[in-house]
A and B are shown apart, each in its own frame.
Chain A
Amino acid sequence: MAWRGIPRWVVGFAVPVLLLGIWQGASGAGLVSAAILPSPLLVINTLVTMAQSGEMAEAIGATSYRMALGFVLGAGAATVLGGLCGASAIVRALLDPLIQALRSVPSLAWVPLFILWLGIFEASKITLVAVGVFFPVYLNLVSGIANVDRKLLEVGRVHGFSPLRRLLRIQLPAALPAYVVGLRGGLGLGWMFVAAAELLGATDGLGFILDDGEQTGRPERVLAALLLFGICGKLTDWALASGGRRLVAWQDIAKA
């Protein structure tokens, strides 16, 4: 291939840089109104100003706090319930239909109830993120456990494993690749829901900057916040994917 020898991350930058060039060119030539699509340079200037004033760190901190807490709560609950449902047919029969029914409620539809129950401040936002994270993690874990190779389970049977031992020694490790996929899916949805929660009512965070930019007619602030959301999402996904790859390095699969 023509780009053999060029690092993949450099190749990955090619299209965004090209688009930025076209965007800057179009803005510079006055083809697009700055009130609709400000130039990349203006967005960068806005980011620099936000960084210098401390607004950027404060917004990222507030959003990351909601995201991290919601992720831990959602993924933790999904891990416990997914593990129990995957391991025990009785627990699965009792809980899984209810969880599947709750899954069909659009997650944002919970917002009014969460605000009524938990107020407009942090608790309702964190809970919304947790709900978003919960379902992909739960579904992947349950299906990972359910699809464990019968032949490996028989090894546990000939060793006389109890159901708990079977879960810990065979089912959970075997389900780890699916679990990691679920965590990454949950993380993506978590960022989506934290943005939604902050748009619906917040006084800080990246979602607040989005809302503020829209209300005050400053699209460069909206674009700057979008960019920061993208960077935060990509960095956390990269960290999770790298950690996950180490955890499932035992898989005998083709490297992409």
Chain B
Amino acid sequence: MPYPLRIEGLEKSFAGQPVLGPIDLDLEAGAITAIIGRSGSGKTTLLRCLGGLEQPSGGTITIGDGKVTPKDIGYVFQEPRLMPWLSVSKNVGFGLAALPKPARKTAIAEALDVVGLAGADALLPKQLSGGMAQRVALARALAPHPKLILLDEPFSALDPFTREQMQDHLLHLHAHYGATMVLITHDMDEALSLAHRVIVLDGPPGRIIGDFKPELPHPADRTSVPFFNWKRRLTDLFSHRQREPENAGSV
């Protein structure tokens, strides 16, 4: 069962300087939620708080029934962050040491197959292209069958062609594993074509200025009128904020 996520009054400050919050948010189990915003809007800080990499300065985060273990949460970083001394298959199995060997091998093979790297298990990270390395990172996050997957701009460093391929992969992975996904991105096209719900942050300190359910098909047709209209709506939201920055949280 995928996990729902409840965020209440979440705040984060660095050296007394507020960078995020307060944020209140309920995310549906099994959905893909995109969080978009400009640089400095606190999106990565929010995700790092959800993934336990930052200690919130205030507020609470409840994931599922509140009794989560690290293996229930998958985290995909902006860069692949593969262990350069491990082969692809050992990188994918990095968080699976607790599993018995046969189950571990099955989970690794399944994850590699889903990301389309079934024959690459013996390669070293230095032998991979950027897109392949990021797919290995996705497989590593997916292999333990997490109930919540946090993705921090996972495709931002890739070229446009590979990025679109990876976005298709992500939908395929979501269909296969059925986990709740939170995707941080600054790319409106990516957010609209992948997510069931789009949360817009602006800051600092990062606050929610928009919360939409576009109800576009997945993957969305990026040339369709509804897609274009949604993109326009998001763009207008940011332009409006630039003109009237005092209207925080009014959308």
Contacts and interface: CB of A to CB of B under 8 A. Distances in A.
Interface stretch (B66-74, B197-205, B223-231): B66-74
A174 B70 CA distance: 23
Contacts, number: 50
Interface stretch (A39-47, A155-163, A231-239): A155-163
Interface residues of A, number: 18
A154 B124 contact: no
A170 interface: yes
A159 B83 contact: no
Contacts of B125: 250, 252
A251 interface: yes
B51 interface: yes
A165 B98 CA distance: 12
Given A155-B94, A159-B95, A250-B124, A176 B73 contact: no
A159 B94 contact: yes
A155 B84 CA distance: 13
A173 interface: yes
A158 B97 CA distance: 14
Interface string B54-94: 00000000000000011101010101010111100000001
A160 B69 contact: yes
Contact of B81 (A152, A160, A176, A250): A152
Interface residues of B, number: 21
Contacts of B70: 158-160
Nearest to A247: B85
B85 A155 contact: no
Contacts of B73: 158
Contacts of A8: none
A95 to B, nearest CB: 27
Nearest to B95: A159
B48 to A, nearest CB: 9
B122 interface: no
Contacts of A151: 77, 79, 81
B9 interface: no
B53 A158 contact: yes
Interface in A165-222: 165, 169-170, 173-174, 176
Contact of B85 (A154, A158, A160, A176): A176
Nearest to B75: A158
A141 to B, nearest CB: 16
B52 interface: yes
Contact of B52 (A158, A173, A248): A158
B126 interface: yes
A159 B77 CA distance: 13
Contacts of B79: 151
Contacts of B95: 159
Contacts of B81: 151-152, 154-155
A160 B84 CA distance: 20
Contacts of A250: 84-86, 124-126
B85 A173 contact: yes
Contacts of A176: 85
A158 B75 CA distance: 7
Contacts of B97: 165, 169
A36 B106 CA distance: 73
List the 8 closest A-B pairs by CB distance, nearest first: A160-B70, A252-B126, A159-B95, A158-B75, A250-B85, A173-B85, A250-B84, A155-B81
Interface of A: 151-152, 154-155, 157-160, 165, 169-170, 173-174, 176, 248, 250-252
11 contacts: A154-B77, A154-B81, A155-B77, A157-B53, A158-B52, A160-B71, A169-B94, A169-B97, A173-B85, A251-B84, A252-B125
Given A151-B77, A159-B94, A169-B97, 12 more contacts: A152-B83, A154-B81, A157-B52, A158-B53, A158-B70, A159-B70, A160-B69, A173-B83, A174-B85, A250-B86, A250-B126, A251-B84
